[in-house]
Amino acid sequence: MTSARLLFSLLIPSILAEAVAPPRRPNVVMVIFDDLRPVMGVYGDPLASTPYLDAFARGSHVFTRTYSQQSLCAPSRNSLLTGRRPDTLHLYDFYSYWRTFTGNFTTLPQYFKEHGYYTYSCGKVFHPGLSSNNTDDFPLSWSAPAFRPRTEQFMNSPVCPDREGILRKNLICPVELQTQPYKTLPDIESVAEALRFVGSRKSNNREPFFLAMGFHKPHINFRFPRQFLSRFKLSQFFNYTEDSMKPPDMPAVAWNPYTDVRARDDFKHSNISFPYGPISRHQAAQIRQGYYASVAYVDDLFGKLMGGLDLDNTVVVVLGDHGWSLGEHAEWAKYSNFEVALRVPLIIRSPQFPLSQTKYHHGITELLDVFPTLVDLAGLPELPSCQDSQELTCGEGKSLYHQLMGLGTDDDHVALSQYPRPGMLPTKHPNSDKPKLRNIKIMGYSLRTDIYRYTMWVRFHAQNFSRDWHDVYGEELYDHRLDSGEDLNLVPLPEFDDVRQRLRRRLMDLVGS
């Protein structure tokens, strides 16, 4: 045998092995911001200071109308991470663990773990506490225990110094890091740990990783390094919205009295009338300034995180768990079925679909869609659609993979959200912003179509999770072509009755009996 033939025969096995070897699956990074509405430059907000998110979006797919399933942390996150609606999980508060309360449903990180990924969680991904079994669902969802920053224990402690040096539990809390416990903040710790983890995986070329990074901000309190406040002039936020009173045709059951804002030390002595307020114009401007500064702070940390990733081999999804009202309808915080409480940013970047500029998608999408979309982007076996509520591995959302490919816009899709109430009127006890399951008497279901938002508040029976469609406590109909702020409830107007009836039937069909 000649030397050339011998060399060729030796090379054949390696050539064939390379030819049949499956392509290496991409790493996946999911970034979750807490209480983030789309106050970002890439979403057209002129007041925002988000240079790193905006730069990231320039090579990404940006979904402009994505909605949370419930505007509360634990229900929204468990819905996102299991791919199932709150009604399926029977979780509307913070006090149940779906695996023992409803069903042992497979989660998004668990699905990746079962298909060969090393999964790791940093910061607030699952909501801590009972709703994730006090373990962030380890070991089922994660390959190692979830990282929780040590400064997280001080998040609701009096750590905000006032002008006399007294430590307070303030809503607005710009700080010098050296005055804080351990001289740092939770999100700073979480990003440092995420970067450490990414660096530790660079030598492992066989096992891809799934990293979930959960930022605590801009969730209240607005505690951030002081320099971020200086980016925003207070005068910019006085005329943010013209709403100063509850809209006259808003049903009382739809109102959230922002009890958590009222409870903070810098607001609880302001004599804000319960339940409708209003908050003074000066305090309203301060809240908005603090919110935008919090977003600027985590944008800066997001830039550090992206700087440590190999974006040529990493799928990245960025999202918020729900929105936050900044004075629209004279309301604050979340806890409602309005657009500002439900609409969130969703940005996807994939090496499979490289872009030189931002590609916008304007169809209706839901956070439920993230699970099947990431599965498809990673090349994993397709996530089945749920046909029965007791299926353990399935999803109730739709994959956005075909939209990322440029095949269709799915214009006819709708978003379905919901929020519970303990009664018709806002109350402190029980807390109508955050009712416990045993106190829930009414459920508000909200349907977002391309043009309308239709919301229906009906009797809900917490004992068996059923609803009575004939026992109605309020209806809302808003036309986004003319009223993007959802200020004018069209239900009392007879000319919109056909639209209302049509949307009512569609909502009832989607929710079921």
Q: What is the pTM of this model?
A: 0.94
* Residues annotated catalytic, as ranges: 73, 127
Q: What is the pLDDT along the chain (513 residues), one digit of tens a residue?
A: 444 444 334 443 443 333 334 468 999 999 999 999 999 999 999 999 999 999 999 999 999 999 999 999 999 999 999 999 999 999 999 999 999 999 999 999 999 999 999 999 999 999 999 999 999 999 999 999 999 999 999 999 999 998 888 999 999 999 999 999 999 999 999 999 999 999 999 887 779 999 999 999 999 999 999 999 999 999 999 999 999 899 999 999 999 999 999 999 999 989 999 999 999 999 999 999 999 999 999 999 999 999 999 999 999 999 999 999 999 999 999 999 999 999 999 999 999 999 999 999 999 999 999 999 999 999 999 999 998 878 999 999 999 999 999 887 666 899 999 999 999 999 999 999 999 999 999 999 999 999 999 999 999 999 999 999 999 999 999 999 999 999 999 999 999 999 999 999 999 999 997
Distance CA 316, CA 354 (A): 12
Predicted local distance difference test score (pLDDT) of residue 188:
98
**451 and 439 Cβ atoms separated by less than 8 Å:** no
Which tokens sit at 75?
Answer: 């229900």
Predicted local distance difference test score (pLDDT) of residue 387:
87
Burial 316-354 (b: 16+ CB within 10 A, else e): bbbbbbbbbbbbbbbbbbbbbbbbbbbbbbbbbbbeebe
**256 and 433 Cβ atoms separated by less than 8 Å:** yes
Q: How far is CA 347 from CA 43, 341, 436, 497, 512, in A?
A: 11, 18, 33, 37, 31
Diameter of the chain by CA atoms? 96
Predicted local distance difference test score (pLDDT) of residue 122:
98
